[in-house]
Amino acid sequence: MVMDNNRKQLAILFILFLVFTYKVAVWDPYFSPKAVEDAALKSASVASVESGLEQDKGAVVGEISRSAEIARPVVDGNSSEEMGLATEGAVTGEFEVPSDDYFIVETAELRAEIALHGGTVRKLFLREYKETNKKKSPLLNLVQGSGDFEFVAGSQSDAGLNYRLEDSEFSSGKTYRVDSGEKVFRLVAQAPGGGLLSKFYSFSADGYFFDLQVSSKQDAALSLGSKLYIKRVIGKDDPSLHDNFGGSGLAWYDGEKVHREGYPTIKEGAESFSAVRWLGLGDKYFSTTLVAPEAPLSGGIERQAENYRAYLNTAASEVSVRIFTGPKSYQLLENADYDLRKLINFGWTGFVAAPLLLALHMFYSIFGNFGVAIVVLTISVKLLLYPLSAVSFKSMKAMQDLQPDMKRIRETISDKALQQQELMALYKRKGVNPMGGCLPMLMQIPIFFGLYSALQLDIELRHAPFAFWINDLSAKENFEVFGYAVPVMVILLVVSMVVQQWITPSTADPAQKKMMMFMPFVMGFLFMGFPAGLTLYWLTNNLISIAQTQGLHQTSEKNALAVTLATGLAVFSVAFVLAQVG
């Protein structure tokens, strides 16, 4: 008995040591909240306009002071070759050619259509992402309506102004390819009240960032400041309104904490914020985010019916921002600085979900299939948690064996206090901890929920196939039989849950046990709407748990571990073969 207690104490100390080691070695350096360093921000920023813009026959005079990474602005008289921009004619195919003047900037990841009317980005396609997983699906466009990045100086918007691109060889529909370095595009417009507006778009050859600097040279009335807008239209049928994981809506970061508002909770009217490092609108998988690269700015959100507009604003008549418009990929955002990884809302499970997500991607790099990677990750977690599962099973089995004695005490002793004393004496005599089965299970909950969050929010699972009819792990399973969708994995999951519940030791009375047998069917209805990746994870977990429980029932803990490992290997083999064949 003393030896068992010592082992339990050592096990608890060992677990605490592992938690402390994880905090110091992993959580603190990689996942804890951290302030954005000013030096890092400045190195990525676009500097302010240093010289004024003069009105001289519509020409722009002056220059922009920019960091070494930013290409020099286009100036009058330069040909396309002198600007270092490869050009093509109007785009045909899946990209619509508008009737008004526009030009296209194409990088490795982005294809932006910039309209000269308003100087806005009216379409922005992500070249590596499609709207659906169909072969002929168009590329995903992150811009809605008339265009993003409207500039308002004082009370005057540039939405109705006609800009001109500083390229003497410009023609509508012209494509500028950015194959290396960064290229800057200068747009100039005459403001209604006199003066000039100038927009500088700077695109890198790769990545999901570009820079935008807007400057207004007008009268003193513009001391009211300026704003730069992004917008989104959310109709009643938009999936973003039904996102139960907090990934859709407004997110803004003050340097210490991320503030979030889902689209349904954003009220009509306007709301303003202070000390904004970045601010974005997005859904579960994608975001358009304005970043203040040099110092915090103020910002806000405006809503009118289905129209949502977020902005950064400054007291000056110019604004300079970095813009992220792309996927909410954890690895991508982790490397992007500005703490943009916080765009992903893992919730309270982040300290577990983030490393599990990294592990999932590592397994994908080995096997080349996210379905197989999910299976391998689930098996790995089950093996790591085996000691806790074994302790929990042993405690529940001991409590089950004590049921006759416990029933006798409750029937023969009516006094509740004395009854409790006798029960505690029984536990002590038999060396059973009544909470021994619960504690290990509670310790596993953060891991299971963390894995659940990681699979739910991982954009890499979007349109990722596994095998046969499971061609999108981020969507619900859809195996069609005579025109009806049959959730095969969900059916297997329900069967596995029934078997697992039947063989797991329980202290519940027969009536309660019968009622609990309905739970697998309730869970089955829930999983019918869940992504296939989550169903695959839970099914794999249940199959291994069944073998593990049977092993603990019929053999020693050492042999039960071997049974767990063998079952995991068998499930992996089946998954690997299905992925290769299907």
SS3 82: helix
Nearest one of 199, 48, 321, 146 to 312, comparing CA atoms: 321
Averaged pLDDT, 152-169: 85
63/50 Cα distance (integer angstroms): 7
Q: State how far Cα 292 lies from the chain centre.
A: 21
- Which residue stretches of 93-249 are H helix? none
Determine what percent of the chain is predicted with pLDDT higher than 70. Answer: 75
Contacts of 502 (CB under 8 A, 6+ apart): 517
Decide if pLDDT at 494 tops 60.
yes
What is the secondary structure of 203-230 as a DSSP string? EESSSSEEEEEEEEE--GGGGG-EEEEE
pLDDT for the residue numbered 134: 84
Averaged pLDDT, 536-553: 85
492/535 Cα distance (integer angstroms): 10
- Going from N- to C-terminal start, the domains of the chain cover 1-32, 38-345, 351-581
- The total of other beta-carbon atoms located within 10 Å of residue 326's CB is 27
Least confident of 45-49, 421-425, 473-477, 520-524: 45-49
Decide if pLDDT at 39 tops 70.
no
Identify which has the larger pLDDT, 307 or 393: 307
Decide if pLDDT at 230 tops 50.
yes
Identify which has the larger pLDDT, 291 or 352: 291
Average of per-residue pLDDT values in the chain: 77
Strand ranges across the sheet with 139-141: 86-88, 174-177, 102-106, 110-115, 121-130, 139-141
Q: How confident is the model at residue 436 (pLDDT cuts 50, 70, 90)?
A: low
Decide if pLDDT at 225 tops 80.
no
Identify which has the larger pLDDT, 272 or 91: 272
Least confident of 231-240, 384-393, 438-447: 438-447
Interval 284-336: pLDDT, tens: 899 999 999 888 999 999 999 989 999 998 887 788 999 999 999 988 998 88
Q: Pick 38-345's CATH classification: 3.30.430.20, 3.40.50.300, 3.90.180.10, 2.70.98.90.
A: 2.70.98.90
Contacts of 202 (CB under 8 A, 6+ apart): 46, 66, 70, 71, 182, 183, 184, 185, 210, 211, 212, 213
Q: How confident is the model at residue 38 (pLDDT cuts 50, 70, 90)?
A: very low
Identify which has the larger pLDDT, 224 or 36: 224
Averaged pLDDT, 37-61: 32
Residue position matching structure tokens 């046990």? 513
Nearest one of 320, 334, 341, 321 to 251, comparing CA atoms: 341
Query: For residues 493 and 542, is the Cβ–Cβ distance under 8 A?
Result: yes
Q: Which tokens is 270 given?
A: 């306007």
- The total of other beta-carbon atoms located within 10 Å of residue 565's CB is 17
pLDDT for the residue numbered 56: 32
pLDDT for the residue numbered 287: 94
Identify which has the larger pLDDT, 192 or 213: 213
Identify which has the larger pLDDT, 63 or 303: 303
489/241 Cα distance (integer angstroms): 27
Nearest one of 105, 123, 218 to 161, comparing CA atoms: 218
Residue 130, H or E segment: strand 121-130
457/361 Cα distance (integer angstroms): 13
pLDDT for the residue numbered 132: 87
Q: How confident is the model at residue 79 (pLDDT cuts 50, 70, 90)?
A: very low
26/40 Cα distance (integer angstroms): 22
pLDDT for the residue numbered 426: 79
369/163 Cα distance (integer angstroms): 47
